[in-house]
Amino acid sequence: MIDFATDLNPEQFAAATAGEGPVLVLAAAGTGKTRTLVYRVAYLVEQGLDPQRLLLLTFTNRASGEMLERARELVGSRVSGVWGGTFHHMANRILRRYSTLIGYAADYTILDRDDAKRLLGECMKDLELYGTDFLKPAVLLGLFSTAANTERPVARLAERRFGDEGIDPGDVKRLHTAYEKRKHRINGMDFDDLLVNCLRLLREHKGVTERYQDNFEHILVD
């Protein structure tokens, strides 16, 4: 058995052994947030939680792997069933099962940054918006990403950011529409699409949402 009270300071112990309901922990760098989450995983498993009902979300796959490895050192192979990874990884895992519900084949391609730039460049050429007097693909992709992650209209963002530079927001919107259609046509998703489409799936298909709500009893986010 792990002696949580000895291994952790009082604040870490309180967070790691908290009861039911949401818990928000705010702490500065170097205060042991990761250690606390590792012990939280170990604590829940020691309390008899089925590891498959535990979801651990982090911002890098490396962080998730390190956390689970440290938890394994504490409680052994019992943590092997924990769902862990980045938000993008988990979104991809869900979409691989249910993407057909939102119009994508299950074998969709994940587009990296270079793939996205190339695809957008093709759209720009088709619409004759490619040149020194227009925005570069990398800049446009940044704008599209902001729009996707904040759920704000592309044209409005373009007007706010580039209106003083003589860029027509309508042209930016046309490019965005063309880019979205082309991605769908080739059965491809960029990194933002993984999050956006997973959210769309959960919003539009109650049965899928309920499945994961029923599956996960605890969700930990680092």
Q: pLDDT tens-digit profile of 35-59?
A: 999 999 999 999 999 999 999 998 8
pTM of the model as a whole: 0.87
Q: Please say if the pLDDT value at position 131 is more than 80.
A: no
Which residues, 6+ apart, have CB-to-CB distance to 32 below 8 Å? 8, 9, 12
* Contacts of 94-99 spanning 24+ positions with Cβ under 8 A: 94/198, 94/201, 94/208, 94/212, 95/189, 95/194, 95/197, 95/198, 95/201, 98/201, 98/205, 98/208, 99/197, 99/201
Query: For residue 222, what pLDDT is reported?
Result: 86
Q: Please say if the pLDDT value at position 195 is more than 90.
A: yes
| CA atoms of 137 and 124, how far apart (whole Å) | 8
Length of the chain (residues): 222
Average pLDDT of 150-156?
A: 95
Query: For residue 182, what pLDDT is reported?
Result: 97
189: part of which helix (H) or strand (E)? strand 188-190
Higher pLDDT, 142 or 1: 142
Average pLDDT of 184-200?
A: 97
Q: Please say if the pLDDT value at position 163 is more than 90.
A: no
